Amino acid sequence: MKNRWMNAKWLGLITILAAFASGCGKNHLSTLRPAGEVGQEQFDLMLLSIIIMLFVVIVVSIIFTLAVVKSRRKNLGEDFEPKDVAGNHTLEVIWTAIPIILLIILAVPTVYLTFKQADTQAMENDDGEVNSEEIVVNVTANQYWWEFEYPNVDVVTSQELVVPTDKKVYFNLQASDVKHSFWVPAAGGKMDTNIDGINSFYLTFDDGKAQDSNRLFYGKCAELCGPSHALMDFKVKALPEEEYDQWLADMKNIEEPVQAFADDAAEGQEIFNNSCIGCHAVTPTGAGAQGPNLTNFGDRELIAGYLAHSEENLINWIEDPEAFKPDNKMTGAYDLTDEEIASVAAYLMELKVEEGSGDVETLRESAEESSEEESTESGEEEEEASSEPSEESASDSEEDSSESDEEGGN
């Protein structure tokens, strides 16, 4: 009896601790607070599956408890023989039909949402080019940072994804080195980024939910990719469409690297141009560089994806990146003194985008012209491709005609 009591106490203690531990997760990385249509649909589907599982557990537990209580020997007697239900068609139909019905209830919305959320046809025109009327972001995963390209306006940034609210945002995902996985828990499920192919999907961000979270959401790599996998984070800024368009216009307006003002920053810019520029771009058109694009580094919330954005942390990061992100590509790529590192840090902190400097209308016109040019080029290529077989068939006809004339002459 004493052992039973001790076991019951331990079981109760473990249950209480498990309940407390369930609340120790990070709210900003939770799927239980959906921030958009995709996340909400997936959350509702998860709730449906939980309800079905709870229903099964409760029903089975009730039947099991009743069977244990009513079938005790002292209630039924020593000579009681249970009824043989083998071959009972009614019971067989019940315990076969109920699981099938539950499976159908879960399968129908699952299949529907799977196909609905996989539909990305709107991001491309009939000719296969990017649709200029849709929000499209090309995501490239690198060890251990993220690059975001906006192909409609030729703007590239890294580590901080900026998106409009209340609109579908389409993503083309690929990796440059090893397999990664793009995941914004509040917005929807993860999607793998592969080296040998492009995966596409879309997410949405509700403006009201974005306001509640100070317009910031958090993303992670959800596929083990190396020693610093757990540190491969990024932020998502969800802005109203007008502010998003203005941000794009401001980024597009930067044609030359921002010039440093302070003396130490000016010295840092010179050092940067002689050393760091080989891996890092400081203009928004620098795609495919070995390191993150730093055009708007001074406006960012974090350093290296997870360090607080301060000049002190930046200096520490440049001095010894291996201490913060093991196996990163910066380690050993340069040799700078403490004074030079401080100057470079001062320069990078000045890399900010001037708000309101870009013209939104000019940006839209540029995007439309680019789309029209691509459509024209695609149409010309199709015409050339279609004309080649016609020319070949015409020459074949001429050859056949000449052969028939020769035969007739003979």
Q: Residue 345, by phi and psi: left (phi above 0), alpha (psi -120 to 50) or beta?
A: alpha
Percent of the chain with pLDDT over 70: 81
Average pLDDT, the chain: 84
pLDDT digits (tens, 9 = 90+) for 178-202: 999 999 999 999 999 999 999 999 9
> What is the 8-class DSSP label of residue 191?
E
Write the burial class of residue 378 (CB in 10 Å: 0-12 exposed, 13-18 middle, 19+ buried): middle
pLDDT digits (tens, 9 = 90+) for 241-250: 999 999 999 9
Report the C-alpha gap between 179 and 275 in whole angstroms: 30
* Nearest one of 199, 141, 127, 205 to 168, comparing CA atoms: 205
Are 133 and 153 within 8 A, CB to CB?
no
* Nearest one of 356, 307, 379 to 319, comparing CA atoms: 307
Domains 29-76+91-238 and 255-352 share a fold: yes
pLDDT digits (tens, 9 = 90+) for 352-408: 888 887 778 877 776 666 656 555 555 555 566 555 555 455 455 455 555 444 444
DSSP string, 246-281: HHHHHHHT--SPPPP-SHHHHHHHHHHHHTGGGT--
CATH architecture of 29-76+91-238: Sandwich (2.60)
Element spanning 117, H or E:
helix 89-117
pLDDT digits (tens, 9 = 90+) for 12-23: 788 787 767 666
pTM of the model: 0.79
pLDDT at position 287: 57
* Nearest one of 143, 257, 165 to 216, comparing CA atoms: 165
CATH number of the domain at 255-352, please? 2.60.40.420
Domain boundaries of the chain, sorted by first residue: 29-76+91-238, 255-352
